[in-house]
Every structure is written in structure tokens, then in C-alpha cells.
Amino acid sequence: MSIVNVRDIVENKKQTLKRKIVELRDEGIIPKLAVILANDNDASRIYVGRKRKLCHEMGIDEVEYVFDEKCTTEELLYTIEKLNNDNDIDGILVQLPMFSNIDEQKVLDAVAPEKDVDGFSSINVGRLYKGSKDIVPCTPKGIVTILKELEPDLAGKNAVVVGRSQIVGKPMAALLLAEDMTVTICHSKTKDLVSHTKMADVLVVATGIPHLIKKDMVKENAIVIDVGMTKVKDKLVGDVDTENVKDIAKYVTPVPGGVGLTTVFSLMENVVNLAIARRKK
């Protein structure tokens, strides 16, 4: 078994993307991301900080719109309309979650599909389920990046996704189906979870329940992708009991230092791809 070195995977891919960005900038194309933050969630602010830092490192311009708890859905819609019409903006990211008084889906759907860098608008979600890979949500996209480094041929293998969120679980299942895998989605109402997870050649866990997945729930030589991250006694832990699961799995991604790294990198890829696609029209 091996703990996956996600950092090396990302670093190798960053070099290729950096070269592409340099070429674009030489052509006068400067990829630019707009981030909308309308929550007081500490984790969200940390994520936005990481995205800001990586944008700067990669050569992507970035601008942030930060709102306090007094903001309204209408204010956010007005801002998004301006960004949709701004030709300098290639991607718009709405950081989730948002303040409880905000109509999240209405805000997400207001983002122009060609600038929807996270792929969360209803139009882009529909396109994903029809098989389009033009705009793919960043976390599932990053997970596929990891999987293809570990196992280039995924076709025909059994995949189990634990969690059915709109951000990870559902789009993850769609992407694995696109890789010709046989996919099962499990969730809080699933009966006999172990019977499903034990069948998985690839097990993706995104529940936010610390150490939900134990050693006896994992198939021998499976690839286990841990998406969860929860603070327990000042320590970040995942959904997988890694210390014990590593004795039976072929690969396990770490927490922290795992999927989160590919999520932020995938965002950079999406911004660049949107910049290129918009200028081809």
C-alpha cells in the first residue's frame, strides 16, 4: 500500500499549465478569475486564500468581491450580471456555502455558462450528465486526475461513491461513468453500506463523517479517495481511517494534503480553458 503523493502529481501538472499560460499571455490573453465570497465561514476564507495564492503563482489575474451578512440575493445577481458582461473576466467562482438568506441556486444559475468555472449552474450540470467535459466541477475533476495517475485504465472496474452532494458525489459518479466504470452511489439511507464498499475497486468517500470507512469495509488492493476533511481536537481528519485502511488498500489519499490540492489546481485549469474557449468564439 502507498499513501498517494498528491503534491507531486499536482506539481508536475502545474509546470505544463504554467507554460500554456505564458504562451497565452504572450498572445495578449490574460486569464482572469472573479471570486464572490458571501459567507463568514473560516474554511471558505482559507480556500479563497489558497486560490488567490495559486492564481498569483500561475500567472492568472484574480479579483474578489466580498459581501457581509447584510447582502441580498439581488445584490449578488447585480454583481454577477456585471461580471458576465465584463470581457476581461474569463471565470466566475461563487464560493459555497453562502449566507442562509441567499438563494444559492438562483445565484449559481445567474453565472453565464461560458464563465461558470465550477460547473455548478443548472445548464452546466445538465451538460455534464449528458457527457460533456467542457466544464467539470473542480473536486471531481481533480479526483479523476489522481485516479488516472494511479490507474490509467479504469474501464470496467467497480466504483463506489459514498455521498450524493451536488458538489462532489453526483458529478463524481457522472465522471466515473464517463470512464466506463460501473458506478454505485451510497448515502445516509443506504442499507448495509459495507456490502457496497467491499465491492469497490475505486472507493470515493465524501461525507464529512470522520473515519467512517474502516479497514473491514475496504476491498483488498482498492484505490481509496478520501474527500472529507473535519477538524477533530484541533486535527484535520478525513472520512477514512487511513492508519488501518492503508494495510489493505493499494492506494489511499491523505488528509490533509490530498484531494484539496487537486481541487484548487483544477480550478486553474478551468479558468485557462474558459479563457481559450471564449476567444475561439
CA 4-9-14 angle, 5° bins: 155
Please give the Cα distance from 124 to 103 (Å, whole number): 18
Name the active-site residue from 51, 141, 170, 250.
51
Name the active-site residue from 95, 141, 170, 226.
95
Question: In b/e form, how buried is each residue of 73-110, taking b as 16+ CB within 10 angstroms?
Answer: beebeebbeebbeeeebbbbbbbbebbeebebeebbbb
Residue type, 81: E
| Grid cell of 88 as nine digits | 476581461
Residue type, 34: A
Q: Catalytic: 42?
A: no
Name the active-site residue from 90, 116, 118, 201.
118
Please give the Cα distance from 222 to 146 (Å, whole number): 14
Q: Catalytic: 118?
A: yes
Q: Catalytic: 105?
A: no
Catalytic residue positions, numbered? 51, 95, 118
